[in-house]
Amino acid sequence: MLAGNAGVYIHVPFCARRCAYCDFYSTTARSVPPRFVGALERESRMASDRFDGLDVGTIYIGGGTPSLMDASGMERIIDAVRGSFNVSIDCELTVEVNPGTIDARKLDAYKRAGVNRLSVGVQAAQGRLLSTLGRIHGWDDAARTIDSARACGIDNLSVDLIYAIPGQSADDWRETLDKVVSLDARHVSCYELTLEPGTPMHARYEPVDESISLAMQDDAMRILSEAGIFRYEISNYAKPNYESRHNERYWMRRPYIGLGPGAHGCVGSERFANPSDLDGWLAKIESGKPAWIITETLTRSDAMFETMMLGLRMIKGVDIAAFQREYGAAPLELWESELNGMRRAGWADWDAERIWLTPRGLDVHNAVCLKLSG
């Protein structure tokens, strides 16, 4: 039996149109086929057999565009997870939705199925920037989605935004933040655009200068904090008690299971993944065999490094006593030289309870990880 409170991530790879910046696994479709839903039900049962004893505290349905799914499909998937695992009564159940693929009737059905949190892909407030990104909605669609969700009783609402978009001015970004504040979102994710190789935007644009990106990040921290939405992780902001419980599991290195093509999971020392291939995944599941493969078996050193790397993404940092309980070692001794050097550089600090990165250290988190891995 495996102890611990786990998360379940379900990848729904279907999109009405692929965004120009996205490198996640997806395929274009106007709706989610029943065959896919049936395979997810079967895979959930397989995962229950493989990972017996996991208590599930969060479910996150992402993609792709999960909001292409009709009410019956969403209900079947949620019921499958609830029937396969010990799901807590206060489970945080998030669905990613894209404006333009959702309406009030579907949102009401999702609420009845148990969905209590939405992550809404707004990205920008300006039509020309949404066009650059390849989005299929406008600002008015996004605002209506938020209003409709709240009207049907889902008020734990998160908004995804992108900054450092080619052609995006500082005024554009501040206008987007102000408009999101006016929507009274509980949670905001602000992601710096990365031009990933193989995407249409990578072929067409150059990255925005780093100084511009950092200034936009500063604007996000200022405008959102003034509205009571505080930074709690490098890219994430929330009103008190509205932090993403599911994502916090990743950053605290808690177990999670991935279902669906392209999904990943990590339980104990095993990291596993499903193929990023819808047909291949379906063939495996429908033959009665799991589609996942173990991609890595982590050593104790690997796990300790990951705990530090992920924990230092959070503003509160790494809990020293919890680290010592889990690994029987003190992080301030394991990385004494590295941490002292980062403290002198103004990147990190600590007290008797926690180790954290300063705002300057958060800006260079990748460099911090390189030092810790060295």
The CATH number of whichever domain residue 86 belongs to comes to 3.20.20.70
pLDDT of residue 4: 53
**Same domain assignment for residues 207 and 304:** no
Report residue 178 CA to chain centroid gap.
23
**Same domain assignment for residues 58 and 183:** yes
**Same domain assignment for residues 215 and 342:** no
pLDDT of residue 355: 98
Q: Which residues contact 262 (CB under 8 A, 6 or more apart)?
A: 11, 13, 24, 25, 273, 274, 275, 276
Residue 273 near residue 265, CB atoms below 8 Å = yes
pLDDT of residue 124: 96
Q: How far is CA 69 from CA 283, 300, 309, in A?
A: 21, 40, 35
**Same domain assignment for residues 226 and 349:** no
pLDDT of residue 23: 75
With respect to residue 279, please indicate whether it lies within any of the assigned structural domains: no
What is the rounded CA–CA span in Å between residue 23 and residue 72?
29
Q: What is the CATH number of the domain that holds 327?
A: 1.10.10.920
Domain boundary among 251, 286, 316: 251
Nearest CA among 206, 154, 221, 219 for reference residue 185? 154
Question: Coil, strand or helix: which one is 294?
Answer: strand
**Same domain assignment for residues 243 and 317:** no
Residues of the chain under the 70 pLDDT cut: 1-4
State how many domains the chain has.
2
pTM equals 0.95
Residue 247: CB atoms within 10 A of its CB come to: 23
**Same domain assignment for residues 238 and 343:** no
**Same domain assignment for residues 223 and 350:** no
**Same domain assignment for residues 127 and 219:** yes
**Same domain assignment for residues 331 and 202:** no
Domain that includes residue 310, residue range? 300-373
